[in-house]
């Protein structure tokens, strides 16, 4: 699958420590979006216990604030 992310979104993703490996389409530990509200608020199930600069605790859940991850879900339902 050829994943295209807008240049402005890539530029806004300044805290990625995974070198945008999610764009390869082969990442097995890509967090799963369990619920999305208005294409802006993405509740996730983390597939890895590794630290992530874009994972935020929200009650008993986690929210993803990564611009690229959100775009992958909004655009490709990944």
pLDDT the model gives residue 25: 72
- Number of Cβ atoms within 10 Å of the Cβ of 75: 14
Task: Give CA–CA dist 2/55, Å, rounded.
Answer: 25
pTM here?
0.89
E runs forming strands in the chain: 32-37, 41-45, 55-58, 61-64
| Tens-digit pLDDT profile for residues 22-33 | 888 776 778 999
Task: Give CA–CA dist 20/41, Å, rounded.
Answer: 20
Residue 74 host element (H or E): helix 67-76
| Tens-digit pLDDT profile for residues 42-64 | 999 998 888 999 999 999 999 99
């Amino acid at each position: 699958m050829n994943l295209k992310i807008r240049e402005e979104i890539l530029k806004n993703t300044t805290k990625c420590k995974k070198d945008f490996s999610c764009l390869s389409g082969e990442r097995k530990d890509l967090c799963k979006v369990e619920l999305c509200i208005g294409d802006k608020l993405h509740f996730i199930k983390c597939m890895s216990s590794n630290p992530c600069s874009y994972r935020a605790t929200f009650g008993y859940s986690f929210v993803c604030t990564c611009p690229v991850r959100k775009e992958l879900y909004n655009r490709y339902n990944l």
